[in-house]
Amino acid sequence: MSRAYDRLEARFKNASVLGDALSVLHWDMATMMPDGGAEARAEQLALLKTLAHQAVTADDMADLLAAAEGEALDDWERANLREMRRDWVHAAAVPADLVDAMAKAESVCEMIWRQARPNADFAAVLPSLREILNLTRQAGEAKAEALGVGIYDALLDQYEPDARSAEIDAVFADLETFLPDFIAQALDAQAARPDPISPQGPFAIEKQKELGHKIMACLGFDFHRGRQDVSAHPFCGGYPEDVRITTRYDADNFFSALMGVIHETGHALYDFGLPGGRWRTQPVGRARGMQIHESQSLLMEMQACRSRPFLTFAAPLMKETFGGHGPAWEAENLYRLGTRVKRGFIRVDADECTYPAHVIIRYRLEKTLIEGRMDLADLPAAWNDGYARLLGITPPDDRLGCLQDIHWYGGSWGYFPTYTLGAMSAAQLFAAAKLADPQIEPAIAQGNFAPLLSWLRTNVHGQGSSLSTTDLLRKATGKPLDAGVFKAHLTKRYLD
């Protein structure tokens, strides 16, 4: 290893392997681990996170990075070095004892949340969440100083590199102007048509799982490198050779779990398609931030699989799986169910018209809390006020309110805006893909996602983190993020 750059690759490979182990331990904690294992698991996660932190914060890292920047590197090595420096700046800003404390607190709080959520008991988790928020602020302040940005932007940068809340504020302000009238128009247009018929359950969980696996296979999920399980909150974890997705089932509504499976499969397809070989364990081989990751899940769930072409294909499969009969199982009826607009409480079950409102509410709240402009005890009331203002509804309890998402309780602050940025990116990428290959939509109508997946592999997945988010979108679609594409999609689907 004569080059400083080569020594850096070796260190970041070690950090990547530790990250893979952490991901699987997190998956196990959410799906299989008995409650009694929580304390030991917290110790395991804290140790692995500390070791990963140490791998990229050794005393000579600054010198190695500086030396590598003066070496002859190809384009991918140069991009990898850029991402290495980003990782180092984030990691070096936070002392090892704070990394350890955060990991332990996150594990404890998440386990308490799992009990508090079904009981709608925010008070039970408040002390642990308060500790999480305090530690997150400490880390955010340290990173803010290192990055030269505000505390919220420092946390946001962990999930969406180079994103800034001032830009997000402008995008979300535009959506807040657009959405209320648009949602009202969509509801009026919907009311002018006959109500769709809901297929009547109960729907056996094993049959729902069977249907989910069939659809996963159509989308391109590789069961030799992945699996699907059940958790309190759907997620995708693991690593490209071992991707784990989860869902949750409702015996009275198979459509909710199915769309959850499709959403997480979109995440998994991205992970499967990331650069392999040498880049597999390097920063440049990772996903390009959560905006693009969420675009891949929402592209599959919202853009492709709530479309008429897909539901024309899937309707007979659904009918056969559950032994259904009658007009409720016809493709057009299922399409109207899949695109039904409703002012609801649960983000993961929201339609794509109201979905941005759910995200905007969370973004405003987490930014206010991180910046210390609101006490955590006031979160339930502020949450309910946000829903009353943007969606015209008030959650009846905290299970349907501020306890519904795992993110804050698991230590993820600064993540939420990437969902709506991802939804906008999804519309833009899907439109560009269909324009580039006119066979994509006819193929989806036959249950064949290979043309779409091929385009995504080339233009998104295989790029890893070699490009910035803006440059990736510009290269794939011809322009940076454009809210107009998202609005046009919504208008065409719900008003035309």
Q: What is the pLDDT of residue 1?
A: 58
Q: What is the pLDDT of residue 67?
A: 98
Q: Binning pLDDT at 50, 70 and 90, where does residue 145 land?
A: very high
**pTM exceeds 0.85:** yes
425-455 pLDDT tens trace: 999 999 999 999 999 999 999 999 999 999 9
Do the beta carbons of residue 416 and residue 473 sit within 8 Å? no
Single-letter amino acid code for the residue at 26? H
83-122 pLDDT tens trace: 999 999 999 999 999 999 999 999 999 999 999 999 999 9
**φ/ψ of residue 245, rounded to 5:** -120, 155
Q: Among residues of the chain, what percentage have pLDDT more than 90? A: 98
Q: What is the pLDDT of residue 363?
A: 98
Q: What is the pLDDT of residue 2?
A: 83
Q: What is the pLDDT of residue 232?
A: 83
Q: DSSP secondary structure string, 96-142?
A: HHHHHHHHHHHHHHHHHHHHHTTTT-HHHHHHHHHHHHHHHHHHHHH
Task: Quote the tokens at residue 138.
Answer: 């400490």
Residue with tokens 């969980």: 205
Rounded to whole angstroms, the Cα distance separating 122 from 403 reads 7
Q: What is the pLDDT of residue 228?
A: 96
Catalytic residue among 77, 160, 264, 294: 264
- Give burial (CB, 10 Å; 0-12/13-18/19+) of 299: buried
Mean pLDDT of 125-137: 98
From residue 265, how far is each of 122, 262, 383 by CA, in Å? Answer: 31, 5, 30
Mean pLDDT of 3-29: 96
Give the HSE-up count for residue 453: Cα atoms under 13 Å, Cβ half-sphere.
Answer: 23
Do the beta carbons of residue 182 and residue 353 sit within 8 Å? yes
Mean pLDDT of 180-196: 94
Q: What is the pLDDT of residue 428?
A: 98
Rounded to whole angstroms, the Cα distance separating 300 from 364 reads 27
Residue with tokens 């990547």: 16
Do the beta carbons of residue 424 and residue 483 sit within 8 Å? yes
Q: DSSP secondary structure string, 229-270?
A: EE-SS--EEEETTEEEEEE---TT-HHHHHHHHHHHHHHHHH
Q: Is 131 a catalytic residue?
A: no
Query: What is the longest distance spanned by two Cα atoms in the chain?
Result: 72
295 Cβ contact partners less than 8 Å away, ≥ 6 residues apart = 422, 423, 425, 426, 429, 460
Q: What is the pLDDT of residue 307?
A: 97
374 Cβ contact partners less than 8 Å away, ≥ 6 residues apart = 365, 368, 382
Question: DSSP 3-state assignment of 226?
Answer: strand
Report, in angstroms and rounded to the nearest whole number, the Rg of the chain calculated over CA atoms. 22
**Residue 231: which of 244, 221, 222, 217 has the closest Cα?**
244
Rounded to whole angstroms, the Cα distance separating 436 from 434 reads 5
Task: Quote the tokens at residue 155.
Answer: 């946390």
Residue with tokens 């920047």: 69
Q: What is the pLDDT of residue 348?
A: 87
Q: Is the pLDDT of residue 481 over 80?
A: yes
Q: What is the pLDDT of residue 121?
A: 98
From residue 128, how far is each of 45, 47, 120, 374, 410 by CA, in Å? Answer: 17, 20, 16, 17, 10
Rounded to whole angstroms, the Cα distance separating 33 from 40 reads 11
Rounded to whole angstroms, the Cα distance separating 32 from 52 reads 24
Mean pLDDT of 359-381: 97
Pairing of strands 236-239, 226-230: unpaired
Q: Is the pLDDT of residue 148 over 70?
A: yes
Q: Binning pLDDT at 50, 70 and 90, where does residue 496 land?
A: confident
Task: Quote the tokens at residue 375.
Answer: 């006490």
From residue 121, how far is each of 116, 345, 400, 404 by CA, in Å? Answer: 5, 17, 11, 11
Q: Among residues of the chain, what percentage have pLDDT more than 70? A: 100
* Residue 116 CA, distance from chain mean position: 23
User: Looking at residue 393, what DSSP letter applies?
Assistant: -
Omega prior to 234 cis, within 30 of 0: no
305-363 pLDDT tens trace: 999 999 999 999 999 999 999 999 999 999 999 999 999 999 988 999 999 999 999 99
* Residue 137 CA, distance from chain mean position: 22
Q: Binning pLDDT at 50, 70 and 90, where does residue 465 land?
A: very high
Q: Binning pLDDT at 50, 70 and 90, where does residue 303 land?
A: very high
Do the beta carbons of residue 275 and residue 285 sit within 8 Å? yes
Q: Is the pLDDT of residue 139 over 90?
A: yes
Q: Is the pLDDT of residue 4 over 70?
A: yes
Mean pLDDT of the chain: 96
